[in-house]
Structures are given as structure tokens and as C-alpha cells.
């Protein structure tokens, strides 16, 4: 989502006549897009800003965008007085006005209003990935997970109209894209604000029906809004990709309650059973937080047993990091850093073993791969299956970038498959 926000902000600048330069040193304007999901990411910003310490009173404009901008607000000007603009993501639609102020010599220009029901629409978006186009369908978040800073930094949930989304998809096809990825913090909470009143699964079907679209991805889904209709849509529409990213966060119902995730372990597993019962094989990936306040060894073990039961295709695991403005920040029974690190290592090792043995099952299978890279030294092409699995493969063909190829799997590691081009 952050990468795509940057693409949209770059589009706003391009439309105003700015152009990209080779390095920050030669730029007249440097904007940092920032993340505050965990403390480490947020700290990075001030280290990077220090590189521009000498810019006070000079012509170079330094600005801070994104979640750290929203969270720290005007305090950024105190810590780094050479910064001239601070703007959170809920104010990006005001960027043209903020830029006008900056261009007129303004200092301490801010966009920090969170109270909005509007989304960020741009005429121009600079797409960095030529094969997969990102596309926001819903911004903000109305959940209140006790560890999470997002509702405080990205504001309330607001959906774009289905007409605006479908229009953008048609433009993307006209621009040569065949794969789109719909984005939102809780993408499947989508509610069309227009008279068409599409829900998420209806929108998925409508996007997949746009002529020229071959693959539709979406991320991130919230288990509470994950319906059988989504599984039915994937099952009956081949262009809808067979990959679901469904963050579980913990395998313990008590911890889930403390996290205010609004579902139990059993309810999460019920959604997994819907996906597994479908005709089409889909991959499932998840996010997990270890070391949430009060998490016992037994509760951590419940998370491990969930991994064993579900056999995820990929897991993004994080050590709990206390965040400002969240209710978990002041919870008792913080878990010591070394215990968090141990749990993370145990979990990652267990998951690695699961992925090694699961991926073996694909030996001799055939997949359609959209080619997005080349490893010259290994003589391999690289791409993704509909289920988002990475496949590295050999081929006698000359240039396959951007093409769909049939590949037969000949080898499997924990994070990727190896194969041969067969057609
Ligand atoms: N500490 C650790 N991980 C977090 N995440 C969100 N907030 C925190 C936090 N305070 C993780 C969740 C989420 C992913 C994007 O980041 O797993 O799904
Ligand atoms: Fe954060 Fe929870 Fe919203 Fe996801 S659903 S963005 S974890 S508050």
C-alpha cells in the first residue's frame, strides 16, 4: 500500500511538471513516504532525515509523508527543522494545494486532518511495476485491533465507487496491463458508496470481467469480512487469482480477544475450510505477531499448532512492537525481547519445514506463469503462478518478460519452485 501511495504521489508531481532525477542529491524536492507499523520502521525516518540536515534555508524542499507524518505531526518540525512539509495519507487529496504553498515559499506546511470521508483520486499514477498494476479500492480502517496504529494514521474506512475502480482498470488494460492487484488495509470490507452498491465479491467479478484482464489479486483480507461468496467467485472465475492473504495474528482465542481481532481460532479455521473445500487449489498466506503482552508458552504453542494444521504457503511473522495511541501499549505482562526473538525463530523454522514439504507436492505439476524477471547468471526466467508462487525456469525462448508461459515443475525449495518451459 505504501509503495502504491508513492506511485500516486509521484503521479501528482509529474502532472504538475516535476520530473524524477537520478539521486536525492540532485533533487529540488525530496519526499519521504514513511511507515509506523512497528517501532523500527518509524525510527528509520529520523535517521534518513538527518542526511538532509544542512538543507535549512536552502532551496531543496524536504517533506515527510505517510504514517509517521500523521503520527508525529508538527513534532517533526521540532526534531528536524529543515523539513518543510508534513502530510499524512488521509490528506493526499490536498497535495496540489500543499504544493502550491510550498512553491510559494511556504514552510511548515501541513496536511494532518484525519476526519475525512474522501479517497485520494489522481489523474496520473506513475507505475513502477510494468507487469502488475496496484489499485486502491478502500482506504483507512474501521477495526480497532489493540496493537495497531493504522486506524490512527490512515483514518476511517472509505471505499471508492465501483465506477471509478472499473474505469481505472479499463485504463490499465489500455496501458498494457493484464494483472491488477486491488489494495486495502481490509480490502474485503469494501462497500460501494454509489447506487450500484457492489459488495466485495461482486466487485471482484466485475473487475475480472473487464476485457483484457487475465489476473486479479487482492490484499489484505480481514477474516471477519471473509465470506463464502469470495471463495465461490474465485472458484468460478479463472481470472480471479487463487491466493488469499488472510492474517490470523495468533492461534490462541484468548490472545485474539486481547488483540480485538473479532474472531476466534475456530472461526478463522472455518474460513480456511471454505477455501480448502473449493474445486480450485488456492494458496493461503498469513501474518502473525509473536510476544503480544501476556502471551504464555502454551498460547504460543497454539499458534504453532495452527501453522501445522493450516500449512500456510507463506507467513509474515513479527515480534510485537508497542505503538503510540494503541490500547495494547500499556497492557501488563510485556514479553521480554529475548523471548520474543526465540518465539519468532521457532515459528520461522517450523514454517520453513512446512513450506519445504508442501512445495515438494508440486513436483511434475504444470503452472501458468506470468514472467516478471530474468536471472542472467543462472540462465533462468522468473515469474508467478496465479497462486502467487514464485517459479524460476529455463526456456529456449529469447524474451519472455511480460508473457504467460506453461511451466513444468522440476524442483522445489521453501520459497520458490524450479521448472522448465513447456509451451
Ligand atoms: N507489532 C508487531 N506487528 C504488528 N503488525 C501490526 N501492528 C503491529 C505491532 N504493533 C503486523 C500485523 C499486520 C502486519 C501488517 O503487521 O501482523 O497484519
Ligand atoms: Fe490494523 Fe486491525 Fe485495521 Fe488491520 S484490521 S489495519 S491490524 S486495525
> What pTM was computed for the model?
0.96
Which residue(s) pair with 371 in the sheet? 383
Supply the pLDDT for residue 41. 84
H or E segment at 43? helix 39-50
Measured in whole angstroms, how far is the alpha carbon of residue 41 from the centre of its chain?
15
Query: What is the crossing angle of helices 337-360 and 297-310, to 10°?
Result: 10
Helices then strands (H, E): number in the chain?
13, 17
Distance between CA atoms of residues 409 and 369, nearest Å: 11
Neighbours of 101 (CB within 10 A): 16
Q: Give the Å distances, CA to CA, from 379 to 331, 364, 368, 388.
A: 53, 21, 19, 22
For residue 170, the Cα-to-chain-centroid distance in whole angstroms is 22
Cβ(162) to ligand 1 under 6 A?
no
Regarding the beta carbon of 287 and ligand 1, being less than 6 Å apart is answered yes
Q: Is 37 touching ligand 1 by the criterion CB < 6 Å? A: yes
State how beta strands 314-319 and 283-290 pair: parallel
Q: What are phi and psi of 357, to 5 degrees?
A: -75, -35
With 0-12 / 13-18 / 19 or more C-beta atoms within 10 angstroms meaning exposed / middle / buried, residue 392 is buried
Pocket (CB within 6 angstroms of ligand 2): 141, 143, 145, 148, 150-151, 185-186, 222
Q: Is 257 helix (H, G, I), strand (E, B) or coil?
A: helix
Cα–ligand 1 centroid distance for 124 (angstroms): 31
List all residues 6 or more positions away from 334 whose beta carbon is below 8 Å from its beta carbon: 293, 322
pLDDT of residue 54: 80
Residues 177, 181, 183, CA angle at the centre, nearest 5°? 140
> HSE-up of 176 (CA within 13 Å, CB side)?
7
Q: Is residue 149 classed exposed, middle or buried when 0-12, 13-18 and 19+ CB atoms within 10 A define those classes?
A: buried
What is the CA(150)–ligand 2 centre distance, in A?
6
All cell numbers assigned to 281 = 487449489
Q: Tens place of pLDDT for every residue, the chain, 423 residues? A: 999 999 999 999 999 999 999 998 899 999 999 999 999 888 889 999 998 888 766 778 999 999 999 999 999 999 999 999 999 999 999 999 999 999 999 999 999 999 888 999 998 999 999 999 999 999 999 999 999 999 999 999 999 999 999 999 999 999 999 999 999 999 999 999 999 999 999 999 999 999 999 999 999 999 999 999 999 999 999 999 999 999 999 999 999 999 999 999 999 999 999 999 999 999 999 999 999 999 999 999 999 999 999 999 999 999 999 999 999 999 999 999 999 999 999 999 999 999 999 999 999 999 999 999 999 999 999 999 999 999 999 999 999 999 999 999 999 999 999 999 996
Phi, psi (deg, nearest 5) at residue 37: -65, -40
Residue nearest atom 17 of ligand 1, based on CA coordinates = 287
What does the angle CA 56 – CA 60 – CA 62 come to, to the nearest 5 degrees?
Answer: 75
Cα distance between the two ends of the chain: 35
**In this predicted structure, what is the pLDDT of residue 84?**
95
Ligand 1 and 323: CB distance under 6 A: yes
What residues pair up with 159 in beta bridges, in sequence order?
138
The three-class DSSP label of residue 349 is helix
As beta bridge partners, residue 29 has: 61
**Cα 131 from Cα 373, distance rounded (Å):** 10
Whether residue 52 contacts residue 27, with contact meaning beta carbons closer than 8 Å, is answered with no
Q: Estimate the crossing angle of helix 2-15 against helix 95-103, to 10 degrees.
A: 50
Q: What are the cell numbers at 193?
A: 458508496
Pairs from 413-416 (Cβ < 8 Å, separation ≥ 24): 413/356, 413/359, 414/352, 414/355, 414/356, 414/359, 415/314, 415/355, 415/390, 416/389, 416/390, 416/391, 416/392
Which residue has a Cα nearest atom 18 of ligand 1?
Answer: 287
Atom index in ligand 1 nearest the CA of residue 322 equals 10
With 0-12 / 13-18 / 19 or more C-beta atoms within 10 angstroms meaning exposed / middle / buried, residue 99 is buried
Q: Nearest to residue 183, comparing CAs of 392, 8, 319?
A: 8
- Report the pLDDT value the prediction gives residue 56, as an integer from 0 to 100: 66
Ligand 2 centre and the CA of 15: distance in Å? 33
> Taking the CB of residue 109, how many other CB atoms lie within 10 A of it?
20
Q: What is the dihedral of CA 237, 239, 243, 244, to 10 degrees?
A: -60
| Amino acid 53: pLDDT | 86
pLDDT reported for residue 299: 98
Among 342, 346, 340, 274, smallest CA distance to 315 is for 346
Amino acid at each position: 500500500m505504501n509503495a502504491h501511495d508513492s506511485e500516486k504521489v509521484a503521479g501528482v508531481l509529474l502532472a504538475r511538471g516535476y520530473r524524477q532525477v537520478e539521486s536525492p542529491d540532485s533533487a529540488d524536492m525530496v519526499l519521504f513516504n514513511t511507515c509506523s507499523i512497528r517501532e523500527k520502521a518509524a525510527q528509520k525516518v529520523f535517521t534518513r532525515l538527518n542526511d538532509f540536515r544542512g538543507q535549512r534555508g536552502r532551496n531543496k524542499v524536504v517533506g515527510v509523508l505517510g504514517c509517521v507524518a500523521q503520527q508525529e505531526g508538527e513534532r517533526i518540525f521540532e526534531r528536524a527543522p529543515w523539513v518543510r512539509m508534513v502530510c499524512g495519507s488521509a490528506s493526499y487529496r490536498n497535495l496540489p494545494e500543499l504544493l502550491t504553498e510550498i512553491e510559494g515559499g511556504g514552510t511548515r506546511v501541513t496536511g494532518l486532518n484525519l476526519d475525512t470521508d474522501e479517497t485520494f483520486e489522481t489523474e496520473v499514477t506513475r507505475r513502477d511495476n510494468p507487469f502488475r498494476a496496484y489499485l486502491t479500492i478502500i482506504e483507512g480502517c474501521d477495526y480497532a485491533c489493540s496493537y495497531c496504529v493504522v486506524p490512527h494514521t490512515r483514518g476511517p474506512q472509505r471505499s471508492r465507487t465501483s465506477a471509478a475502480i472499473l474505469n481505472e482498470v479499463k485504463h490499465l488494460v489500455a496501458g498494457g496491463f493484464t494483472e491488477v492487484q486491488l489494495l486495502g488495509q481490509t480490502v474485503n470490507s469494501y462497500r460501494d458508496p454509489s447506487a450500484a452498491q457492489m459488495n466485495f465479491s461482486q466487485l471482484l467479478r466485475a473487475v475480472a470481467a473487464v476485457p483484457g484482464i487475465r489476473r486479479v489479486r487482492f490484499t489484505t483480507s480481514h477474516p471477519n469480512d471473509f465470506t463464502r461468496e469470495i471463495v465461490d467467485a474465485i472458484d468460478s472465475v479463472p481470472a480471479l487469482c487463487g491466493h488469499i492473504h488472510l492474517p490470523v495474528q495468533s492461534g490462541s482465542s484468548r490472545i485474539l480477544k486481547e488483540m480485538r481481532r473479532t474472531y476466534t481460532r475456530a472461526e478463522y479455521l472455518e474460513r480456511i475450510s471454505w477455501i480448502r473445500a473449493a474445486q480450485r487449489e488456492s494458496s493461503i498466506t498469513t501474518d502473525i505477531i509473536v510476544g503480544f503482552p501476556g502471551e504464555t508458552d502454551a498460547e504460543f504453542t497454539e499458534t504453532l499448532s495452527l501453522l501445522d494444521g493450516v500449512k500456510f504457503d507463506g507467513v509474515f511473522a513479527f515480534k510485537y512492537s508497542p505503538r503510540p495511541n494503541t490500547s495494547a501499549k500499556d497492557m501488563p505482562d510485556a514479553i521480554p525481547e529475548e523471548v520474543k526473538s526465540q518465539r519468532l525463530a521457532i515459528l520461522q523454522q517450523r514454517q520453513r519445514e512446512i513450506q519445504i514439504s508442501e512445495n515438494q507436492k508440486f513436483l511434475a505439476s504444470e503452472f501458468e506463469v506470468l514472467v516478471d524477471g530474468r536471472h542472467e547468471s543462472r540462465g533462468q526466467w522468473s515469474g508467478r503462478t496465479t497462486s502467487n508462487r514464485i517459479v524460476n525456469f529455463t526456456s529456449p525462448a529469447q524474451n519472455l518478460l511480460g508473457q504467460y508461459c506453461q511451466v513444468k515443475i522440476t524442483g522445489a525449495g521453501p520459497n520458490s519452485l524450479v521448472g522448465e518451459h513447456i509451451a
